[in-house]
Amino acid sequence: MIARREWRHSIFCLFGMAAAAACGDLRNLVEGEATYVIEGGRWLDVHTGTLVENEGITIHDGRIISIGPPPDSADFTVTIDLDRDWTVLPGFFDLHAHYAVDLFGEGRVDETAAYPELFLANGVTTTFPAGEMDPVRMRELRLAIERGERRGPRILNSGPYFGSWRRGWDDDAMTPDSIRREVDHWASLGAAGFKAKGIRPDHLSVLIEQAHEHGLTVTAHLDSGFGNTVNPRDAILMGIDRVEHFLGGDMMPADRTAYASLQEFDDFEGDALRDIIDLYVSRGVNFDATLSIYGYWGPHDPEMTEYWTDELRFLTPYMRQIVEARPPRPVNESFAKMSPIKRRTLKAFHDGGGRDLITLGTDHPSWGQYWSPFAVHRELLAFARAGVPPADVFRIATLNSARAMGLDDELGSIEEGKIADLAIVRGNPLEDVRAARDVRFVFARGRLHSPDELLAIAAGRIGPAEASEESAWRPGG
């Protein structure tokens, strides 16, 4: 229930589901001048991993101004009364949040028509795209959200890929000076960090050095050192901030690819795994495990790939017909082998001192199924199934990921003075992480959103509306 002092209004009115004449004045106050008080339920202290009985969380001017009985000084207060079994969580981070989709199997394009609303509806309040196909378009989206013209999560722009994964990348043409100029350029446009994929060692070292000149982080999808690639161990020694997918080291010798090594790895008690974990921990390097992506490509696990809502409804009717007419995707046998190995590796990293260095990233450029914004909840479940305690699962998705981007002074936990990025869910996520899927309210930068309304806005917007629009959803279109 939501109340404005002695007046009570339905949730439907607050979020514009009733007549504008009846609700307009209240909605303007809610979106503009309101002080919010969230009462009842519990809130998750990610520092201690415990649920705290909620006496009140007061939000004003975008920040949490008090935790406890609310102050009496607010000029206008919107009170949100939570049932006892509801939980307030910090907003989720996705640090491998591909906005890119590949609807026609011809390459990726960034999806900006529905993804911002879908991320927010799922409680994701901060995203790092981890390599943008169209960085100019993604920067424009970030600015539109910052100006309040679009609803969506905070976007930490990553700029273009550095390495062969970028269309048009030419290894021989990329000199140290040209890499530095590119870093300077994208930093000047507000990039929050950079992503390398398919990069040579000499290029990566320059990227890391120049990014650090701007106080920005570098993450990378690396390999084993095979064929002039970079082993994560070597990237750590260069000073990289975060590594995606594979731990590296002697787990992945340079005489074969990382994929070939990982799908055969079984020495979980040996020195290779222990040594590389120790290196991450001693250097404070974050690991973005991206567990759930392997389930989409391998044999479908009903628990991991279930739809708890009709995700296909976000396609245009034209595109939905195309997607539903396609045969099932073939199983990627190497991914099927790697999936359980990655879970065991992640658990070893967690138990070996790396708990506070694990971040959450989904890494799913969808082909028309399993949209990235919903993948956050599949990643939470993948962590839990790997044996990570639920309290740590949510620490990874919030505080750890905020710290990895240097934002933990402002985000990642529920504390006085921090920005009010919150997801209010029904149920106890420490008993079952899937309770976090039932998002009832979202605060982003202190602004209140209805997930139901966000989902309604996004419905029917992904993909071409007719054949003549298909080119816009293909690379170069």
Q: What is the pLDDT of residue 331?
A: 84
Q: What is the pLDDT of residue 60?
A: 93
Tokens of 41: 């339920």
Q: What is the pLDDT of residue 333?
A: 85
Taking the mean position of all CA atoms in its chain, how far away is CA 100?
Answer: 13
Q: Is residue 458 part of a domain?
A: no
Tokens of 435: 């309770």
**263 and 356 belong to one structural domain:** yes
**34 and 63 belong to one structural domain:** yes
Q: Is residue 463 part of a domain?
A: no
Q: What is the pLDDT of residue 215?
A: 97
Parent domain of 375: 92-404
**50 and 112 belong to one structural domain:** no
**82 and 105 belong to one structural domain:** no
Q: Is residue 389 part of a domain?
A: yes
What lies within 8 Å, CB to CB, of 197 at 6+ separation is: 131, 161, 162, 163, 164, 165, 220, 221
Q: Is residue 73 part of a domain?
A: yes
**247 and 153 belong to one structural domain:** yes
Residue 199 to residues 134, 289, 322, 426: CA-CA distances in angstroms?
19, 19, 35, 44
Q: Is residue 461 part of a domain?
A: no
Q: Is residue 180 part of a domain?
A: yes
Sequential pLDDT tens for the chain (477 residues):
554 443 333 333 344 433 233 333 334 444 446 899 999 999 999 999 999 999 999 999 999 999 999 877 656 689 999 999 999 999 999 999 999 999 999 999 999 999 999 999 999 999 999 999 999 999 999 999 999 999 999 999 999 999 999 999 999 999 999 999 999 999 999 999 999 999 999 999 999 999 999 999 999 999 999 999 999 999 999 999 999 999 999 999 999 999 999 999 999 999 999 999 999 999 999 999 999 887 777 776 778 888 999 999 999 999 999 999 999 888 888 888 888 999 999 999 999 999 999 999 999 899 999 999 999 999 999 999 999 999 999 999 999 999 999 999 999 999 999 999 999 999 999 999 999 999 999 999 999 999 999 999 999 999 999 999 999 999 987
3-state DSSP of 66-130 = EECCCCCCCCCEEEEEEEEEEEEEECEEECCCCCEECCCCCCCEECCCCHHHHHHHCCEEEECCC
**200 and 289 belong to one structural domain:** yes
Residue 300 backbone dihedrals phi, psi, to 5 degrees: -65, 125
Q: Write down how long the chain is.
A: 477
Q: How many Cα atoms are found within 13 Å in the side-chain-facing hemisphere of 76?
A: 11
Q: How many domains, in total, are found in the chain? A: 2
**104 and 142 belong to one structural domain:** yes
Q: What is the pLDDT of residue 91?
A: 98
Q: Is residue 329 part of a domain?
A: yes
**69 and 151 belong to one structural domain:** no
- The answer to whether residues 13 and 22 touch, using CB atoms and an 8 Å cutoff, is yes
Q: How many Cα atoms are found within 13 Å in the side-chain-facing hemisphere of 438?
A: 12
**260 and 317 belong to one structural domain:** yes
**80 and 128 belong to one structural domain:** no
- The answer to whether residues 70 and 60 touch, using CB atoms and an 8 Å cutoff, is no
At which of 347, 378, 404 does a domain end? 404
**59 and 115 belong to one structural domain:** no
Would you give the DSSP letter of residue 399? Answer: I
**67 and 137 belong to one structural domain:** no
